[in-house]
Amino acid sequence: MKNFLRNLSIGQSFLFATMILVGAGIVLTSAVQYAFFMTGTDSMIERQSREINKQIVLNYEGYIHSVIETMNNVQAMMHNLDPRVSADRVREIWGFTMDNKKDIVSLFLADRSGHIVLLSGDTTGKNTTSAGFWAAIHSPEIFIFEALFADPVASTSLPAVRVSKSLSYAAKGENEKGVLTVTLNLRTVSDLADKTDLGEGGFILIVDDSDNLVFSTVSSSSASAIEALSLASLNHFGGMRARTDGRNLYVNINTLSQTRWRIITGYDITEVAKTRARTLLVTVLVVLFVFLLSAFAAGFISLRITRPLARLQRVMGKVENGDIGISVEPGSQREIAALSHAFNRMIEQIRTLMGRVVAEQRDKRKTELRALQNQINPHFLYNTLDSIVWLAENGRTHDVITTVVALAKFFRIGISRGDQFIPIRDELEHIRNYLTIQKIRYMDRFEYILDAEEGILDRKIMKLVLQPIVENAINHGIGDEPAHIMIRGFSDSKLRRTVFEIHNTGYGLTKARIDQIMQSLSSSEQSTGVGLKNTWQRLKVYYGEDAGIEIESIPDESTTVRLWIPEENTQERNNDDI
């Protein structure tokens, strides 16, 4: 990760940091807001569901209270009336009650033994052997609610409910205990359910104390009813979430007062869930949009910063390649403009300094040439200067600079503050400068390669020992075809010596010519030049028989001159030994 960050450009770093900060901020803010939204909707769902359920329970309990009040009124109106003697009066009272409360199917009075004393209305529900009848006998103070599962009401398709209450009635001048039973068809219960909005998949179920279904707004075999009954069997009351038939529901379970029955309401919250999903989708889209917008803005700002820097970098590359006549246009940003102005001032100073250097070099050239007149071929110097003039006249500023710099370095290393032994590194640099000059002079009619092992570069060598051989390689290598020159330096560890090979393509030498050259090298005649014999003689003076030169050639193809010096001398020789 460190390497990745380290390798990023300024623009990439700015864009990366901006996107991390913006992305983290957007995601965190959106996540917090969505969490608050989810919590808020959960609270709203639960609160709204409980309020709706509370209202439903109040409605149904109001209906139950009205049934109980009706039975109390019937009981009060029958006070002191003997049902057997005043049967018509009692039936009149019961008929008036049934007219006022349309959901009453029948009324009947039975004695303590279960025998029917008086019956009015539909004969449905006159069974006195039911558990509800005997519960009323044994618990005279409460109303007993009982669902009729096996005997539906004949006159309606609605389920029936029987309410029984123990009472006293007149019989032959005495008070007898009996049970008044009212059978209802739950029409009002159904009407109340129809008026309640619980959503598309909402429902109302009423179950008795044995979890038998008394009333339902959905089919008893539906998944909603089955799920609700399952929840009711596990939870006596309370609110909980459920999912059935692909819909999300909030289910509430409550007990109906005056009964042992429970009412189960299912509030459809599928739309709320869909709203949540849509909100999440919108949030994600907004996050992506803001993220992309931020990326675009960060990229735009990054480009405004980096483009002027990249332009400045390109100009610096051209200056590095020798084009000092160029300048950079100031950027639009204040800081970039200041940097551009500073760079332009630096280039102007470089041009001024280079002019001074050229003037100084021109003044020093006469002195340096005098010091090198016994080592440097005046003809080479003349040709080089002539080439510089020609290049300047033809506007080849870069080549002029390259040639002047190479020539200056060539002279500097040639003089070497009077030292006769210099590092091989400097000698190869001297050769490189020489080849640079010659390559420009000969219009790139040859290519060269300088290659040396790293381990020999700090060893000492007698200066200007390689130049005459390289000069011969150029003179004899350039022909109709472009020449190739290779200078290699390496250590021969077996023979403990440092070896240099100067290889050039060209006409080559015959075996006879090679023998002639080697014979002239061994002759006792002194040489005042700087050619191959001069190099041979200098090697023998300073290194003795441990140094040598050999020549290999393939006619019309290539020539290789191999020169070696003892390794210990290249490491130990210093200028005080001369």
Could you tell me the CA-to-CA distances from 564 to 317, 497, 499, 535 in Å, in that order? 40, 7, 4, 12
CATH 3.30.565.10 fits 376-577, yes or no: yes
Report the chain (578 residues): mean pLDDT per 10 consecutive residues: 63 74 80 78 77 84 89 84 84 86 86 85 61 85 79 51 88 84 85 81 84 82 77 74 78 84 84 79 86 81 75 79 76 72 83 80 47 50 78 82 82 65 89 88 87 91 85 81 89 91 89 89 61 78 86 90 81 50
Q: For 404, how many CA atoms within 13 A lie in the half-sphere containing its CB? A: 23
* Alpha helix (H) residue ranges in 78-162: 87-100, 131-138
Report the Cα–Cα distance between both ends of the chain, in Å, rounded: 58
The pLDDT value given to residue 372: 36
Contact criterion met (CB below 8 Å) for 330 and 309: no
Tokens (6 digits) for 404:
């002047």
Helices (H) and strands (E) in the chain, counts: 15, 17
Helices 378-393, 424-441: axis angle to 10 degrees equals 50
Contact criterion met (CB below 8 Å) for 128 and 115: yes
Indicate the Cα dihedral angle 355, 356, 357, 359, nearest 10°: 90
Q: 148 pairs with which residues across the strands?
A: 160
CA-CA distance, 340 to 329, in Å (whole number)? Answer: 7
Q: Sort strands 238-244 and 160-171 into parallel, antiparallel or unpaired.
A: unpaired
DSSP string, 415-431: HGGG-SEEEHHHHHHHH
Could you tell me the CA-to-CA distances from 500 to 39, 215, 548 in Å, in that order? 85, 112, 11
CA-CA distance, 484 to 506, in Å (whole number)? Answer: 8
Q: Considering Cα of 513, then 519, then 525, then 526, what sign does the dihedral take?
A: positive
Whose structure tokens read 């370095």?
Answer: 409
Give the three-class secondary structure for 109. strand
Q: What are phi and psi of 472, to 5 degrees?
A: -65, -40
Cβ contacts of 364-371, under 8 Å, gap ≥ 24:
365/411, 368/411, 368/414, 368/415, 371/415
Which of the following CATH numbers is that of domain 47-271: 3.30.460.20, 3.30.450.20, 1.10.3720.10, 3.40.640.10? Answer: 3.30.450.20
The pLDDT value given to residue 476: 80
DSSP string, 228-251: HHHHHHH-SSEEEEEEETTEEEEE
Tokens (6 digits) for 62:
């109001």
Amino acid at 203: F
List, in sequence order, every beta strand (DSSP E) within 185-310. 203-207, 213-216, 238-244, 247-255, 262-268
Helices 378-393, 397-415: axis angle to 10 degrees equals 160
Whose structure tokens read 């002195």?
Answer: 367
The pLDDT value given to residue 122: 62
Burial of 397 (0-12, 13-18, 19+ CB in 10 A): middle
Q: Sort strands 446-452 and 421-423 into parallel, antiparallel or unpaired.
A: unpaired
The pLDDT value given to residue 562: 94
Tokens (6 digits) for 456:
């020999």
